[in-house]
Amino acid sequence: MDKSDDIKEISKALAKFQEYLSAPKKNKDNPFFKSKYAGLDDDISAIKEVQTAHPDLGISYTQDASTSDTGLPQVKTTIHHISGEYLMFGPLTLPVGKKDAQGYGSALTYARRYSLEAAFGIASEDDDGNGASENQPDQSTRPSQHQTRQQKTSEPLASQQDVEELDTLVTDFAGKDGTSPKVVYQNIFTSAKVQNKRLSSLTRPEMGALKRALSQLMG
């Protein structure tokens, strides 16, 4: 984290700001889990509410988007104070599921959201932790943040970030294709020749195979 030489004023103001900051409203629908979650615009709205109600705190922020050395989208979030002091967080870099405009746009949106939440200490509960309904396959059930991930193989497990990215790509594609995420999952598990299982139990090679299968399905 980069910062100004002195952060006394911004630290005090940010502490008060966080006292007033409420958890973002969950206005986004995840049709796969039949649940709601907070998106980037919900985070921004929650922050703006405090800025409007308490302008005397003098807190604002900016987000700078760029690309990493490997060509991946990355975001820096800087919190500014009226005194001129600042706190810079990042850069946060996220992988791209499919290397096209949609894939980069999705990754950039998630990077902005996660970076903003980290900077302001927003505890935004995503659709993590919402178990799949009984008519959904095991491989499409996602774990809670506190759920133990059992490893039954010597291969390292896929990261939670990979799990979230795959679920987002599958849900987005299903919506655009007019099908259901359940069907998409079934197709890519079969195509990748990966055993049906919870996403939280996937190894890195299995996750890579599923992403390649999804990329082929998306054309």
| Phi then psi dihedrals of residue 69, to 5 deg | -60, -25
The reply to whether 131 falls in a domain is: no
DSSP H helical ranges for the chain? 8-20, 40-53, 101-120, 160-177, 181-192, 204-218
How many structural domains comprise the chain? 2
Give pTM, 2 decimals.
0.56
Which of the four pLDDT bands, split at 50, 70 and 90, describes residue 154?
A: low
Asked, for residue 59, whether it belongs to a domain, the answer is yes
Q: Is the pLDDT of residue 18 over 60?
A: yes
- Residues 184, 107 share a domain: no
**Which residue has better confidence, 187 or 98?**
187
Longest pairwise C-alpha distance within the chain? 58
Is residue 51 within 8 Å of residue 60, measured between CB atoms? yes
Residue 125 belongs to some domain of the structure: no
Whether residues 143 and 116 fall in one domain: no
Region 104-114: mean pLDDT is 86
Measured between alpha carbons, how far is 93 from 113 in angstroms, rounded to an integer? 12
Residue 14 and residue 75 in one domain: yes
Residues 88 and 55 in one domain: yes
Boundary (domain end) residue, out of 57, 88, 120: 120
Q: Are residues 76 and 14 in the same domain?
A: yes
**114 & 186 share domain:** no
Confidence label for 148 from pLDDT (cuts 50, 70 and 90): very low
Return the percentage of the chain with pLDDT > 90, whole number: 29
Residue 30: predicted pLDDT: 56
Q: What is the pLDDT of residues 42-93, one digit of tens each?
A: 899 999 999 999 999 999 999 999 988 888 889 999 999 999 999 999 888 8
Domain of 20? 2-120
Q: Are residues 7 and 80 in the same domain?
A: yes
Q: Cis link prior to 181 (omega < 30° from 0)?
A: no
Q: Which of 86, 120, 154 delimits the end of a domain?
A: 120
Tell me the CB-side half-sphere exposure of residue 22, using CA atoms within 13 A: 10
- Judgement on whether residues 103 and 167 belong to the same structural domain of the protein: no
Residues 212 and 112 in one domain: no
- Say if residue 99 is in the same domain as residue 176: no
Whether residue 172 is predicted with pLDDT greater than 50 in this model: the reply is yes
Whether 128 is in a domain gets the answer no
User: Quick one: pLDDT at residue 65?
Assistant: 93
Same domain, 93 and 21: yes
Residue 129 maps to a domain: no
Number of other CB atoms surrounding residue 45 within 10 Å: 14
pLDDT at 117 over 70: yes
pLDDT of residue 141: 41
- Residue 217's Cβ-count burial label (10 Å; 0-12, 13-18, 19+) is middle
Residue 180 lies in a domain: yes
Same domain (yes/no): 7, 72: yes
pLDDT number for residue 144: 42
How many residues in the chain? 219
